[in-house]
Amino acid sequence: MQPIILIFACLIIGIVLRWSGRLPDTATKALGGWVINVALPAAALGSVHDLKLHPDWWLAAATPWIGVVLAIIVIVPLCHVFRWKSHRAGALLLVAGWGNTSFVGLPMITAFAGSQWLGLGIVIDLFGSYLALSTLGLAIASIASAGHFDWRAVGKRIVTFPPFIAILVAFATNHLERPEWLTQIVTSIAETLTPIALAAVGYALRLDRISGRLAALGVGLGFRLFVAPLAIMLMYIALHQAGDPVAKVAMLEMAMPPMLGASIIAIDNDLEPDLVALLIGIGVPLSMLTAWAWWSVIALL
């Protein structure tokens, strides 16, 4: 319960800071810069170390990638139908395509499936959500913000993206012992991700700007909270694996609200920040109900 309370508290702090006028209008960019360049890499370094992998976890780890591909298949045509511009399409793909498999997902795993499955949740988050965000997500953001595909620019952004570099370093040093002081520093920095990211979203959240964005909100949250988990559940049913505890955790993770890291990247690239903040601000509270509903179904499989 404590992580869930923290999420709401940090969103409210961001809203209050905007109302107070104590921070400049560019505060969201500054806070997002810390998240992308410092906190996300630290979280990747901290998650990988001493992580034990199991061969039967790889399909579960691939589910965030499957979710993103499905988002492209579903959302891009809808954007053409509604004649939405590339900035809105990019925002929806990033925020609806990626679920919060860590700071909401891990507490949900503990609450519903049990703490013994946290290792699997970390694998799904790191090899699925984080790795996909550091590559495919960054490509989507670059294309949507520029309006065209420049493979050199996209490739340069990916290989110089701090979270991607951190994942590579974490893989290369996973077998090495770390001094306790280094572990504590990495952990402390990583723990700033959730409060600062949510404060940045709260700062950008303006419920008075919901007008004209209801259809986009419906598409984004409809996909993230209903279509994506349903698709993964049907996939596991078709594979006759829906009763496997690993599959149940993967399905639960797919029912999570929009990912904070993806939302910060969208805001950092000026992909309709008002819509992004609304998707997070509405999606996170709503997911408390929808995730419980999905687990009620998943547990019966």
pLDDT digits (tens, 9 = 90+) for 208-263: 888 889 999 999 999 999 999 999 999 999 999 999 999 999 999 999 999 988 99
Kindly tell me if the per-residue pLDDT of 1 is higher than 70: no
Report pTM.
Answer: 0.88
Q: How confident is the model at residue 29 (pLDDT cuts 50, 70, 90)?
A: confident
Strand partners, 99: 258
CA separation for the pair 237, 29 (Å, rounded): 42
Q: Which of 49-53, 162-166, 202-206, 243-247 has the lowest mean pLDDT?
A: 49-53
Strand partners, 258: 99
Helices 40-48 and 180-190 sit at what angle, rounded to 10 degrees?
A: 130
CA separation for the pair 224, 273 (Å, rounded): 18
Give the DSSP letter string of 94-153.
Answer: HHHHSB-TTTTHHHHHHHHT-GGGHHHHHHIIIIIIIHHIIIIIHHHHHHHHHSS--HHH
Q: Which residues contact 78 (CB under 8 A, 6 or more apart)?
A: 219
**Do the beta carbons of residue 170 and residue 49 sit within 8 Å?**
yes
Segment 3-18 shows an average pLDDT of 85
- 212 or 47: which leads in pLDDT: 212
CA separation for the pair 43, 166 (Å, rounded): 9
